[in-house]
Homo-oligomer: A and B are copies of this chain.
């Protein structure tokens, strides 16, 4: 009588689900920078035990989304203007490597078309702010993935949370930064195939974004 063939079960642990929930809550601004994250309160709210929440919180701490204050209590981390600029410098270095690798790769064309799709999504979703941010993050993540360097992707993802909070916190008035028009030149430069110029274009993109977001 089964209408659906049996599908594989969800094997995710409570810790993983708690982690996702908390990460989303923080990076979407549900908790503002400086807010206190009490283990007991979160555990109660999520319906899991303190230990489980603790592990998730420690993970977020390592991601830089949360920072310990007095007596080990965790707060949502606030990033200063300087740190934001630094963050985007590091991004530029990492994604710059990605660009150089993509240009040097034999599958540059397929990479370019994939990136163009990602750029198109940026404009499709520009009405819903969160979806827009997601699309922006997806573009840059794709850039890293297309480089074929898995360590690069890993390193970038370690910064992803910080990037997301920054954009979420200060980017609402700066949605132009995430428009397709601002990203297309990067792809164009990759297609053109001159590594030096492409890296420059990317660098400018990052500097402009950092300046606006660090305001």
A residues apposed to B, CB below 8 Å: 13, 51, 54-55, 58-59, 62, 64, 72, 83, 86-87, 89-90, 92-94, 96-97, 101, 149-152, 154-155, 158-159, 162
B59 touches A90 (CB 8 A): no
- Residue numbers in B under 8 Å from A90 (CB-CB): 94, 97, 149, 151-152, 155
7 A-B residue pairs with Cβ-Cβ distance under 8 Å, sorted by A, are A13-B72, A86-B149, A89-B152, A90-B152, A93-B152, A155-B155, A158-B158
- Residue numbers in B under 8 Å from A154 (CB-CB): 64
Q: Give the interface centre of A62, A83, A90, A159 by most chain B CB atoms within 10 Å.
A: A90
Q: Give the interface centre of A72, A86, A93 by most chain B CB atoms within 10 Å.
A: A93
Q: A13 to chain B: closest CB distance in Å?
A: 8
B64 touches A62 (CB 8 A): no
CB-nearest residue of chain B to A159: B155
Complex Cα distance, B151 from A89, in Å, reads 9
Complex Cα distance, B54 from A102, in Å, reads 39
- Residue numbers in B under 8 Å from A150 (CB-CB): 83, 86
CB-nearest residue of chain B to A54: B55
Q: A37 to chain B: closest CB distance in Å?
A: 16
- Residue numbers in B under 8 Å from A92 (CB-CB): 97
Complex Cα distance, B72 from A144, in Å, reads 28
- Residue numbers in B under 8 Å from A55 (CB-CB): 54-55, 58
Complex Cα distance, B59 from A54, in Å, reads 12
Complex Cα distance, B154 from A158, in Å, reads 10
Q: A122 to chain B: closest CB distance in Å?
A: 25
Complex Cα distance, B93 from A149, in Å, reads 12
Q: A177 to chain B: closest CB distance in Å?
A: 19
- Residue numbers in B under 8 Å from A87 (CB-CB): 151
A151 touches B62 (CB 8 A): no
> Can you name 4 extra interface pairs (CB under 8 A) apart from A55-B55, A94-B155, A155-B155?
A51-B51, A55-B58, A90-B97, A93-B94
B83 touches A151 (CB 8 A): yes
